[in-house]
Amino acid sequence: MKVIKGYLAPDLLIEGNIHTTDSARIDCTCVGKVTGDQEVDFGESAHVVGEVSAKVVRMSGKMEGNLTVEQKVSLLGSSRIKGNLITPPGEFSMDLGSEFEGNFQIVTPETTTTAKAAEGKSAAQSKHTAAASKSR
């Protein structure tokens, strides 16, 4: 693991979105979306209710929601995940004692890029349709 640049202490409760451009360790309770451009390490006291999306995730805490990882995910022995997990092939590890309840999907980077492009196109079409409906 590389040097941690950001830290959120266990006594914090954060409601809303969190984004980190560098490595971070989260030990607090987060209600909302957590995104990271690099590695995000969730400690044993971390509790996330919402989505997590990052390049690399090390999970020791609890999570309720969807977890999407670009490169590598490690579910450590104390982790408790309830939700969907999307990860690339060969980059998933789950320690003895960790718990996972939900759907598990292995996708190639090409599949993820295609899915994101389709989501963007669908959202743009929805906005266009909504705008057209308002102008009538």
Task: Reply yes or no on whether the pLDDT at 93 is more than 60.
Answer: yes
**pLDDT band for position 90 (cuts 50, 70, 90):** confident
In degrees, rounded to 5, the angle at the alpha carbon of residue 130 between the alpha carbons of residues 126 and 133 is 140
Output the pLDDT for position 129: 40
User: In the chain, what percentage of residues exceed pLDDT 90?
Assistant: 73
Of the candidates 73, 75, 77, the one whose C-alpha atom is nearest the C-alpha of residue 89 is: 73
In a domain, 59, yes or no: yes
Find the angle CA(96)-CA(102)-CA(105) to the nearest 5 degrees.
Answer: 90
Contacts of 122 (CB under 8 A, 6+ apart): none
23 by Cβ neighbours in 10 Å (0-12 / 13-18 / 19+) ranks as buried
Domain around 46: 6-107
| pLDDT at res. 128 | 46
Is 125 among the domain residues? no
Total count of domains within the chain: 1
Average pLDDT, integer, range 39-47 = 98
Residue 26 lies in a domain: yes
The answer to whether residue 72 sits within a structural domain is: yes
Q: Is residue 70 part of a domain?
A: yes
- Does a structural domain hold residue 130? no
Q: Is the pLDDT of residue 120 over 80?
A: no
**Is the residue at 93 inside a domain?**
yes
Residue 114 in any domain: the answer is: no
What value does the mean pLDDT take over residues 52-56? 97
pLDDT tens per residue across span 61-85: 999 999 999 999 999 999 999 999 9
> What are 1-25's pLDDT values in tens digits?
568 889 999 999 999 999 999 999 9
3-class SS at 43? coil
